[in-house]
Amino acid sequence: MENVLVTGGAGFIGSHLVDVLMSNGTRVHVLDNFTTGTTLNIRPWHGDPNFTVTKGDLLKPSELAKLSNGNFETVFHLAANPEVRVGITHPDKHFQQNLVATKNTLEYLRKKGNMAAIVFASTSTVYGEPAKIPTPEDYSPLEPISMYGATKLACEALISAYAHTYGFKAIIYRLANVIGPRSQHGVIYDFVQKLKKKPEELEILGDGTQTKSYLYISDCIDAMLLGLEKTKNQFETYNVGSDDQTNVKTIAKIVAETMQLKNVKLKLSGGVDGGRGWKGDVKNMLLDSSKLKSLGWKPRLNSQQAVEKTAKELVGTTRS
């Protein structure tokens, strides 16, 4: 890759991807509206001749014209609303920021032409609550139970249609819970913030038994780049996750220990619909990533190791 576009490149996953691409000598252009992303995440590359950044909103097609160089070999489309719970009270936000933004991106790329590949960050939530655990890519039916999962699945369908109609390569990554430094949402981040305010008690949404796979950010980036390099088919979908799971109560205890807090009372909200943290919360998630592993990828950290490392990093950032 010589020239790439990263939408959402100032966000959590996007900025870590930018770090690796820039370190590899790739020319990188970031497009971000900076609602959740921050310039701090990409500050090390400001001033580098191989790095450019444009503030723009994918919901406004005219702003895509701000891109100084539209001849991108690869587009990593990571821009999205990452907060699953917002879909409960504001479903239109996910519709707009996930689906409409993706449609506008695809239209821009169609009109520009000369694009080799698009890489899309999807999610495990497209499966809903599958009967088969671990869940493979060919599992059906896909029945997402959140607006976030529904709009991501719709994005997958749009990308497939554009790829097959207009002849470019497309890779979909269905990600487990990706964690690590710079994350500004999710269970570990939330627990750290709650314990900062009230160190003697930690509220846990749901019954605490929610059990999921957690993937460290560097393992996620390795997967995305390896899949792009090795994939020969015009369109491909990969699960990306660790081989094991951990539950919310265990995460709570790890965060409390990392913050050197003792005798923290865990206050369970009880949740909804059988102990979920919120409507649309999937209680049990574990992906079958053997398809991607067959290409040579393997996560370095399991779920608990990823949680422990992330907790130390987020707590350290808070203290500094």
Exactly one of 127, 139, 148, 238 is catalytic; name it: 148
Burial of 157 (0-12, 13-18, 19+ CB in 10 A): exposed
Beta bridge mates, 77: 7, 120
Measured CA to CA, the distance from residue 136 to residue 289 in angstroms comes to: 7
Q: Catalytic annotation on 148?
A: yes
Amino acid at 252: A
Query: Which residues are marked as active site?
Result: 148
